[in-house]
C-alpha cells in the first residue's frame, strides 16, 4: 500500500550562487538545492553553505536526510519541528523550504479540485514547487550544478 512516502531526495551543489537563486550572494559559500518528491509533487529548498576553503561534500552534508527515507512529508515536518536532531541552520532551512514547497504544490491542486478548477497557481501544469518553480526546474539544476547526490 502506498502511504505517500518521500520517494526522491536529491541534492545539487553549486560553487557559486545559481542564476535562479533568491539568496544573497555570499563570498566563501557554496550553495545547495534540496529537491524532495512524494505523492507526485516536488518541493525545493536552498541554502548557502560556508566552505571554509574546502570543497562541498554533498554526501556528508546530506547524511541527515537518510533519516527521512520512506517517511511521509508530514512525518518529515514533525521530525523537523521537534528540534531533537542536531542539524545545521542551513540544513534546517533547506529542508523546511523543500517541505513547504511540497505542501504548497499539493494544496494548490487540492484547492483546484475542490473549487472545480477556478484556482490559479504560478506554475500552471506543474506539480513542482509552485512558490518557486524555477528552483525546482530539473534542467537548470543539472546544467548549473557542479555535483549531484540522490539519497533514494
**Does residue 130 carry a pLDDT above 50?**
yes
* pTM as predicted: 0.83
Distance (Å, whole) CA 133 – CA 131? 6
Distance (Å, whole) CA 149 – CA 13? 9
Q: For the stretch 118-129, what's the b/e string if a residue is b when 16 or more beta carbons lie within 10 angstroms of its beta carbon? A: eeebebeebbbb
Which cell numbers hold the place of 97?
A: 523550504
The stretch 75-79 carries a mean pLDDT of 89
Per-residue confidence at 115, pLDDT binned at 50, 70, 90?
Answer: low
Distance (Å, whole) CA 69 – CA 3? 13
Show the domains of the chain with their CATH numbers: 8-150 (3.30.390)
25, burial (CB in 10 Å: exposed 0-12, middle 13-18, buried 19+): exposed
Share of the chain above pLDDT 90, in %: 44
Distance (Å, whole) CA 33 – CA 149? 11
Distance (Å, whole) CA 29 – CA 37? 26
Per-residue confidence at 149, pLDDT binned at 50, 70, 90?
Answer: very high
The values of phi and psi at residue 18, to 5°, are -65, 155
**Does residue 118 carry a pLDDT above 70?**
no
Amino acid at each position: 500500500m502506498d502511504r505517500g512516502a518521500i520517494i526522491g531526495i536529491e541534492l545539487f551543489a553549486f560553487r557559486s550562487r545559481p542564476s535562479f537563486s533568491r539568496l544573497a550572494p555570499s563570498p566563501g559559500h557554496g550553495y545547495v538545492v534540496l529537491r524532495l518528491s512524494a505523492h507526485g509533487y516536488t518541493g525545493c529548498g536552498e541554502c548557502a553553505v560556508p566552505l571554509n576553503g574546502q570543497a562541498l561534500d554533498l554526501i556528508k552534508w546530506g547524511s541527515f536526510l537518510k533519516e527521512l527515507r520512506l517517511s511521509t512529508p508530514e512525518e518529515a515536518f514533525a521530525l523537523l519541528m521537534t528540534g531533537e536532531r542536531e542539524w545545521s541552520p542551513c540544513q534546517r532551512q533547506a529542508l523546511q523550504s523543500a517541505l513547504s514547497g511540497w505542501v504548497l504544490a499539493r494544496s494548490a491542486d487540492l484547492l483546484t479540485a475542490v473549487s472545480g478548477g477556478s484556482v490559479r497557481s504560478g506554475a500552471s501544469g506543474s506539480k513542482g514547487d509552485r512558490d518557486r518553480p524555477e528552483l525546482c526546474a530539473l534542467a537548470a539544476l543539472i546544467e548549473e550544478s557542479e555535483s549531484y547526490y540522490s539519497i533514494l
